[in-house]
Structure formats: structure tokens, C-alpha cells
Structure 1
Amino acid sequence: MAEKDQVKPLTPAGHQPRSDGEDDYEAMHAKSNNLRRKQLYIQCCGCLSVLLIVPTVMIIVVLTVCHVKHPSLRMNSVSIQRPLEVVNGTTTTGGRDQNLTLLVDFLVKNPNYASFKFRNATTVLYYGGTVVGEGQIPAGLQAKARRTIWINVTVDIIIPEKALLGGQSGIMSTGTLNLNMSSYTRIAGKVKMLNIIKKNMVLGLNCSFMYNVSGQAIQDNCSRQHVHF
């Protein structure tokens, strides 16, 4: 019996056979689209991160770098530039007041990231509640950013004759005389950051002195500073 010819099924209308090259092209195209989507996603995440990080950094900078802190004022030492006139262990008033010159050494420490510029500064000395001397600190001085500045102030003092009188008129015993004085130092200035943040400050310092005439020595005691805005 002769074998019948096998009948092959017809290809459906509209269906075209695809080559391996076309399949590879579509796979590469899909892979490229996925890669573009991933890159776009990464770029969007990066932009969003920048938008979140920049304001945070600015806030941190404002709260740290641009935060104005209090400069500190301290007296380092007091030395005698011109002592009272002492002859043979005594001081003669000669019927007049006497002059005493002191050199006061101050320290101003600026913790800010901007300079602290002085407008005016004064040291006033008192004896018995009365002003007996005054020293000026030149305006325009400045403590640079995060630096410390040392300031020397010369104070000329007039000691009243009545404070120098001892057992005899015009004569005093230097072995028993201590002159107790007090002082107040005031420094006004401004801290300015980026021409945006400006802060006026006034530093104040109270001190007391004991001047031993026989030993030509000064003992000082300074209270803590106080700051005004």
C-alpha cells in the first residue's frame, strides 16, 4: 500500500515567521529601556536627596557657624607704672593730691566665626565711691574670628590727700597704708556675620584692688563678667 503524502498545516494568515536576529533586537531594546528607567529613577532620587540635604546643611550652618556667642572679658594683671612718691619709708603729700599710674592688662576671647569690633571701651577706677582715674581703649580694635586679643590700658589715678595723711600732717606711714580701690571696665562692640546677622554687645567687668604702698604691690580681685545685648 502506498503511503499517503503527509499534509502540512497551513500557516495562519498574517503570521510571519521571525528570525533569531529580530528576537535579539527586541531583547536588547527592552533591556535598554529598563536601563534608562533605572537611570531616570537614580537621577530623580539624587535630585530629591539634594533638595532635602541642602536645607538641612543650611540650618546646621545657621545654628552653629552663624550662632552668635558671648565673647569673654578677663583681667590678666595690674602693674604699677608710676608709684606714689616714697622717701625714707614715708610718702609726703606736700599738701596736695598724689598721682599713681597703673597698667591694666585685659584679655578678650572671641568664640565666634566673625570678628568682634570695639566701638568704645573704658576702664574707670573708684576710691571711696569717687572716680579717681579713667583709661580709654581706642575704638576700632577687634578680636578676630575665634581669636584672643590682649589689651593694655594705662590709667592715671589721682589719690586724694586725705587718703594719704597719717599721724602727722602731710606724712603717712607706708608700713600700714593700704589703698582699696575698685574698677569697672566696659567694652561695647558688634559681631557681624556675612553682613546679615548683626549683634550689638556690651561686656562689663568689675574688679577691686588693694595697693600696698610700702611693698609697691597690687592685689586684684575680679568678679565674673556680665554681657548685655
Structure 2
Amino acid sequence: MKAESRRRMRVCVAVTAALVVAIVLVIVILAFTVFKAKRPVTAVDSVSVRDMDMSLDIARLRVNLNVSLDVHISVTNPNKVGFRYSDSTALLNYRGQLIGEAPIPAGRISSGGTAAMNLTLTIMADRLLSTSQLFSDVTSGSLPLNTWIRISGRVSILGFIKVRVISTTSCDFSLSISNRTIEDKVCHYKTKL
């Protein structure tokens, strides 16, 4: 009887161990295939002029400028689980110099969902006016600008595997001074785990 009881105990332990190994293998396979972390995609849908006041002081070779841009972006989460991102910032640059920024508050995007965000970038006139090329750009009728957006966050797979993902978008465009429109917009998207 004792030998039979030991044998049953061994079989029970072996079956339990085999089940645990099988469950762990299924979880690992799912984590690296179906639930594999994918990068979110940030896209700049549109850039438009919200407000623009400009005057040219030819006697002093000076430009007085106040510009606000509306930037509409969307962030798409291609993952089978939610994506939680932290506070981020959208930057506005003129010839490599930071001239404006807008906060992007932290949030969460559900599985396969897309979050639309509307940002207002206001040019910091003091930074822009200190640039030596501004007068020639204004007289030519076009300001070359760039927006740069970086969103970083985490994707939680099966509740315990956390993968950090980052998505950046850079858009070059020209602000036409005469008709107050955005022209020649070209965007570059980059994502990484």
C-alpha cells in the first residue's frame, strides 16, 4: 500500500509540474507573440494659424510678431493592451532654436485606440526676435518652423511585464506671412521600444 501511495504522489507531482511548465510556456509564448509590445504612432494631423499679429519696423530693422498655432495630433496604440503615457511636451523651433512649447498631459489609450489631442503653440517672441535671420525671412514672406513631439510611456503585458515605449514626431513647415497659412509640411515619425 505504501509503495502504491508513493507512486500516486509522484505521478501527481509530475502532472502538477508538467501543468505549471505548460502554463508558463503558454504565457511566455503569448507575451512574445500576441501581446508583444508595439510602438505607439504619433501623427501630426494638421497645423494651422490660430492668431497672427505682425508689424515691420523698417527704420529700426525690427519685426514685432505674435503668433499662435493650433496643432492637432493623434496617438494610436496598436497594442492588445492599454498604453499609459507620462506628461510630455510639444516644441516649436525656428532654425534650430526653441521658440514655443505646449504641455501634453499624461493619459491612457486603450487597446487599439487612438487619442486625439489639440495643442496651442504660442511663439515666444523674445526668443524669435533675437535671431538674426528673422528680418530676412519675414521680408521673404515665409518663416521656416519645426514642431517636435515626444511621447513616452509603458505598455503592461499580462499585468507584470512592463515595456517602455517612445514615439517621436518631427514636422518641418513654412508659415506664409502674406496669407497666414501653413505650407510645405513634411513630417518624420520615429518609434522605439
Q: Partner of 1:224: helix, strand, or coil?
A: strand
Of 6, 18, 33, which aligns to 1:64? 33
2:124 is equivalent to residue 155 of structure 1: no
1:225 corresponds, among 173, 190, 193, to 190
8 Å Cα contact 1:74/1:225 also seen in 2: no
Q: Deviations over 1:76-96 (max 9, x none)?
A: 1101111234xxxxx345956
CA deviation vs aligned residue, 1:165-205 (integer Å, no higher than 9, x gap): 47xxxxx65xx410001121111211112321101122111
**Contact 2:39–2:191 under 8 Å retained in 1:** no
Match of 1:196 among 160, 164, 179: 160
Whether the 8 Å CA contact 2:90–2:148 is kept in 1: the answer is yes
Q: Which moved more, 1:125-134 or 1:151-160?
A: 151-160
Check the 8 A contact 2:40/2:191 in 1, yes or no. Answer: no
Q: TM-score, normalised by structure 2?
A: 0.74
Report if aligned partners of 1:184, 1:207 keep a CA contact under 8 Å in 2: yes
SS at 2:111 equivalent: coil
Residue ranges of structure 2 left out of the alignment (5+ in a row): 1-14
Letter in 1 for 2:148: Y
Contact 2:49 2:70 in 1 (8 A): yes
CA separation in 2, counterparts of 1:135 and 1:68?
Answer: 28
Q: Structure 1: any 5+ residue segments left out of the alignment?
A: 1-46, 86-90, 167-171
Structure with greater strand percent: 2
In structure 1, the partner of 2:89 is 122
Alpha-carbon contact 2:56-2:63 (below 8 Å) kept = no
TM normalised by structure 1 equals: 0.63
User: Are the counterparts in 2 of residues 111 and 146 from structure 1 also a CA contact under 8 Å?
Assistant: yes
Mapped contact 1:121–1:136 kept (Cα < 8 A):
yes
The DSSP-based 3-state class of the residue aligned with 2:53 is: coil
Q: Percent identity?
A: 27
> Secondary structure at 1:215's aligned position in 2?
coil
Structure 1 segment 86-165 matched on structure 2, within 5 A? 91-92=55-56, 97-139=64-106, 141-159=107-125, 160-161=128-129, 165=135
SS at 1:61 equivalent: helix
Map of 1:75 onto structure 2: 44
1:66 Cα offset (Å): 2.4
Q: Larger C-alpha radius of gyration, 1 or 2? A: 1
For residues 191 and 23 of structure 2, what CA distance do their matches in structure 1 show? 37
Which residue of 1 is the match for residue 4 of structure 2? Answer: none
Q: Which fold has the larger relative contact order, with Cα–Cα distance below 8 Å and residues 6 or more apart in sequence?
A: 2
Match for 1:102: what amino acid? Answer: L
Report the RMSD for the aligned CA atoms in angstroms. Answer: 2.8
